[in-house]
Structure 1
Amino acid sequence: MRKKFLKKISTVGLAAVAAVGLLAGCGKTDQSSKSSKTIYRTVDEIKKSGTINIGVFSDKAPFGYVDENGEYQGYDIYFAERLGKDLGVKINYVSTEAANRIEYLQTGKVDVILANFTVTDERAEEVDFALPYMNVSLGVVSHKEHVITDLSQVGADEQVIVISGTTAETYLTKNYPDIKLQKFDTYAAAKSAFENGTGVAWANDNTEVIAFAKENEGYTIGIDSLGSSDTIAPAVTKGNTSLLDWLNEEIETLGKEKFFHKDYEETLADAYGLDYEDTLVVESGVVESN
């Protein structure tokens, strides 16, 4: 039996918040960013402080979520724990939503984002992505009594649910401008609305919709791959080469021990089964072509 991975929410509390507020005095700024002032800490500064601030989802199982006992769990949390261990620091988890991941980096609220962050050219203009650790594409889940196998089946008066700030929103807005989108800020709100009858379909990362369909009766994956295949990677503030270089070396090292396969087996196998493991997992930042 696999040991269930648990991580209690950091109790750093007000002290951590105060420390973040002081980052401008000890970190670096990048005046070339779209933000008027971006803040970041180098690896040495993080080690000296004894704490790294990592942005994660708190409501997106099985990647990052808080369980009924108030404990952080998931694929990204498992990875974050290893980062903290190898840096020799404690972790202050900062709950983030899809739409504010870039803002949290630019304002110094977090040092790293590990929140199922898909790499795109647009985002790469505002943050620096490390090597990837997972493959992903978009998918669409719908009700079994009205399965959407092609987006042309969405009626003029029907809506598709998306999360604000995600690649699903960007893709549908660009490629299917006539489809009405019902946007939510959080995954929990989107799930609740979909379960209560809002929308004929929900477009999101295929990993998310696959898990949803497996966990909830009455739903099916009509489209398991939409658009191009992308990757998920950690992100740091634009220009923070110190932390970016450390992360890249760490990911390459972890790949030698098949760390992300173990991570998958500990945190994702229950949701997806082992058949998806080699398709979804990326080791050492190397994306293998099919």
Structure 2
Amino acid sequence: MAAPPPPKGLDTQGYIEREGSLGRIPHVFRPVVAVARDRVLDVFGARLHSAYLYGSIPRGTARVGRSDLDLLLALAAEPGDADRADARALGAALDREFPEIDGVGTLLFSRERLLSDLERYDLGWFVACLCTPLLGEDLAEYLPRYRPDSLLARETNGDLAVLLPRWRERVAAADAGDDPDEARRRLVRFMSRHLVRTGFTLVMPRWNGWTSELEEMAAVFGAYHPERAEQMRTAAALGHEPTGDRAVLTSYVDDLGPWLAAEYTRVHGVKAPRPEPTSS
């Protein structure tokens, strides 16, 4: 078995360090972040508690014309249809106006949910460790510090078995859509990233570190599961450069995904049920 890369991403006490900052945003992306900040405030106003960036832009690793702008908005109340419609319209407008980005993804949750006991080791951890404050009060001040342990692994990605049937439905819907190749390409990108992250958190407690870089996640996973290493390296590459190949999606929902879900349940158990899905 090849040795995994040295652990990283922890402070001197073994807690996961918060990744990303406004200071790490590459200059080419700063105009879109500034406009997004102003428009989020204009659009959501009093509905907004706080707003955050996450992903490659605040980590400083975004690629011009290839990376998307990722936002998380904490609202004063549970988001409704009007909130979701406003977020979609805002994202579509930013995507049209700024060729530097390739799409906008916006997560909407209430402040109460983000700070709830049920979400403490999933959405709460996400805000505290993977999100960069953009507007308002930082909810990380109300959340604990986190270690890369089995509890965190279970509550972040221990629901893959639940998600797989929905993924199969999305593949079928993509096949039947107006532009199947583009729909499949987007699914490949999404599923590739999800599977790589799930594979990484499967072995994260053994590695005892944190990273958000897909290639490094795949390398860490592959050191502990060499029989699946090539599949995960390929998935990491497709997370950046997706294809519309139906065979890739089939391999995900019929092979890699079911194996990973079963292994995850065996090692870490099953994520606590949610009243509604947190991802799809």
Give the structure with the larger strand fraction.
1
Higher helix share: 2
| TM-score (structure 1 length as normaliser) | 0.27
So what's the TM-score if we normalise by structure 2? Answer: 0.28
